Amino acid sequence: MRRFDAEPLPPLTEEEVNALQDYAARHGRSWKRILNNAWMGVAPCDDGPILRRLRNTHGPSWLDRYRPPKPQAEH
């Protein structure tokens, strides 16, 4: 079976989105590279259990394609 025939990934929970946004805020422009390295066991291993669960369910290739949601403008 080809990878493209696999079931779609589950949508992110609010908790997962918040964890990704917090990680991005802490690590700046290179946050994806740093997180991917943390997922591979390279310091800093500061990703925590929520992001580790994302590594296990979604994987590093998903992280490369992930785009954080745009902040909602307040009216």
Q: Is residue 16 domain-resident? A: yes
Total domain count, the chain? 1
**Omega prior to 44 cis, within 30 of 0:** yes
Phi, psi of 49 (to 5 degrees): -70, -30
Q: Is residue 50 domain-resident? A: no
The pLDDT-based confidence of 1 (bands split at 50, 70, 90) is very low
Q: Is residue 23 domain-resident? A: yes
What would the pLDDT profile of 16-42 be if each residue is shown by its tens digit?
A: 999 999 999 999 999 999 999 999 999
Q: Is residue 34 domain-resident? A: yes
Sign of CA dihedral 56, 59, 48, 10: negative
Name the least confident of 6-10, 19-23, 52-56: 6-10
Q: Is residue 18 domain-resident? A: yes
For 31, the domain range is: 12-40
Q: Is residue 75 domain-resident? A: no
